[in-house]
Structure 1
């Protein structure tokens, strides 16, 4: 039976979207039977263009993913719930049967850089951290 994984963040526009993209990618690579979701406690309504851009740099297209509320996914059925920011860890419903983990990562969308490249660098740094953590999670399933 497929393991169900949810990546939860406040806005569901960057970190959780990146994690969803990598989880789907690594599940294929490692032949794992998983259902992957991402959602937000207060969804922004869009996937951040820079998240799409930095994932495309790594060969993964998340442009068809969309921002959604926790209530729009089968949260009570999750085997794993991964929160990616402090607010989501505090507002995420507790599912006793789920393996809950908190990966506190900075929000790259909040970086105010002097240049667009500085902002992209923030997204790349968070993307690379998420990639490492997601690959480890999927391999260990």
Structure 2
């Protein structure tokens, strides 16, 4: 089972989703990419995931171009920008889904509020991707 998770910058939401999905089942090959990859990870996303025991610090922020010729069971966009700008894949894509989340890196306000947005979005990503895993992916493994 091969899953590609796409976001615009590939620094935050797609990285958290990548970490969760990989943690649910090691049989799933998970990659993440960005339509405009930033080339770096959002450190608050890394910290939010580490807080619950998932280490994404070794992930890389890669351009979606790296993955266009591959075959995928799922290509999942997690932000509106990536959904609207998702390129054509030359390899086979069995399922294309959009599961959107707010971007916590755009939160403004106090440090406490910004951190709470990272935790809120992290928890939403876990919940939605676990549901996808249980209902669609796991039965196919």
TM-score, L = length of structure 1: 0.88
Aligned with 1:37 (options 25, 31, 34): 31
Q: CA RMSD in A?
A: 1.5
Instruction: For 1:88-127, list aligned pairs within 5 A.
Output: 88-95=82-89, 97-113=93-109, 115-127=110-122
Match of 1:4 in 2: 2
SS in 2 for 1:79: strand
* Equivalent residue, structure 1, for 2:134: 139
Separation in structure 2 between the aligned mates of residue 9 and residue 36 of structure 1, nearest angstrom: 14
Secondary structure of the equivalent of 1:98? strand
* Secondary structure of residue in 1 paired with 2:93: coil
Report the Cα distance in structure 2 between the residues aligned to 1:128 and 1:64, rounded to whole angstroms. 21
Q: Cα–Cα, structure 1 residues 112 and 75, in superposed 2: closer, same or farther, change >3 Å?
A: farther
Aligned length: 134
Residue among 35, 56, 61 paired with 1:62: 56
State the alpha-carbon separation in 2 of the partners of residues 71 and 15 from structure 1.
Answer: 19
Q: 1:129 aligns with which of 81, 103, 124?
A: 124
Task: Measure how far apart 1:97 and its partner are.
Answer: 3.5
Gaps of 5+ in 1: none
- Contact residue 6 and residue 75 of structure 1 kept, 8 A: no
TM-score by length of 2: 0.88
